[in-house]
Amino acid sequence: MKLLIVEDEERIAAFLAKGLRAHGYEIEWASTGRDALRLGIEPGISLVILDLKLPDLDGLEVLASLRAWGATVPVLILSARGRVDDRVRGLDLGADDYLAKPFAFEELLARVRARLRPGPAVPADVVRTGDICLDILTREVTAGGRKVTLSAREFALLRAFIAHPGQTLSRQELLSMAWGMDFDSQTNLVDVYVGYLRRKLGEPAIETVRGAGYRLRIAASTAPSPQPDRAPW
């Protein structure tokens, strides 16, 4: 498999390339955002490791452009910007994972393997739980008969809940199902996005199970006075 490393610091890029090649991956290297856009849409690229601090374009611009052009290649952001709002913004723009610098190479390697793992069998196109209806293909969601607009990550989290209606899911299970994160990185991403879903679906839709996690209420009323949909930042 061929990986694209987008990193302007040659020393870091060389370190990553050497380690990944030792594990059997082919490597392409882009030191600028424009080169990343050119190489990122090539069909042979299996995954992009993206730094955000580039000399010509911000890495988030690169990510947004790739997704706008329809590129579905998995993107793992590797950046010194490790604040929660940075991670949330990157994931919401279409990144599949986010690892802050400094990092352990073994963790990076595990995340690469996780993103390249074959996905599960595609489920039924339309899934319903209570008064929530989720269309897998069109990514349309209705709750209580009204259309709800969700970001890509909100959709992934709701899909995880709907796959386990009424079941209590831990934060780590939700991180794994919705973000593909196999490690507990002490992040509150799950709590933040549960808040976004409650605001759009209605507060009773997702219950907090103290000390255990969250669960989707099967018979929840999800139509009480919703706030207008808006970007979560």
Same-domain status, 138 and 72:
no
The residue length of the chain stands at 233
> Mean pLDDT across the chain, nearest whole number?
84
Distance from C-alpha of 174 to C-alpha of 207, rounded to nearest angstrom: 14
Residue 223 lies in a domain: no
Distance from C-alpha of 65 to C-alpha of 67, rounded to nearest angstrom: 5
Distance from C-alpha of 50 to C-alpha of 99, rounded to nearest angstrom: 10
Task: Tell me how many domains the chain contains.
Answer: 2
Share of the chain above pLDDT 90, in %: 40
What average pLDDT does range 208-221 have in this prediction?
77
Contact 182, 176 (CB under 8 A): yes
Could you tell me the two tokens for 213?
Answer: 């996690």
Residue 32 lies in a domain: yes
**What pLDDT is attached to residue 221?**
38
pLDDT tens track for 35-78 = 999 999 888 899 999 999 999 999 999 999 988 887 889 999 99
Same-domain status, 82 and 139:
no
**What pLDDT is attached to residue 111?**
92
Contact 3, 49 (CB under 8 A): yes
Q: Which of 116, 147, 170 is the last residue of a domain?
A: 116
| CA-wise closest residue to 132 among 226, 202, 231 | 202
Same-domain status, 106 and 139:
no
Q: Which of 86, 116, 146 is the last residue of a domain?
A: 116
Same-domain status, 152 and 204:
yes
Cα angle for residues 226, 90, 186 (degrees, 5° grid): 85
Residue 226 lies in a domain: no
**What pLDDT is attached to residue 37?**
92
pLDDT tens track for 93-125 = 889 999 988 889 999 999 999 888 875 544 457
Name residues whose C-beta falls within 8 Å of residue 61's C-beta, 6 or more positions apart in sequence.
33
Integer CA distances (angstroms), 123 to 126, 134, 135, 175, 195, in order = 8, 12, 10, 20, 26
Domain ranges, residue 182: 126-216
**Crossing angle (nearest 10°) for helices 84-92 and 152-162:** 90
**What pLDDT is attached to residue 186?**
66
Residue 171 lies in a domain: yes
What average pLDDT does range 12-18 have in this prediction?
95
Distance from C-alpha of 6 to C-alpha of 139, rounded to nearest angstrom: 30
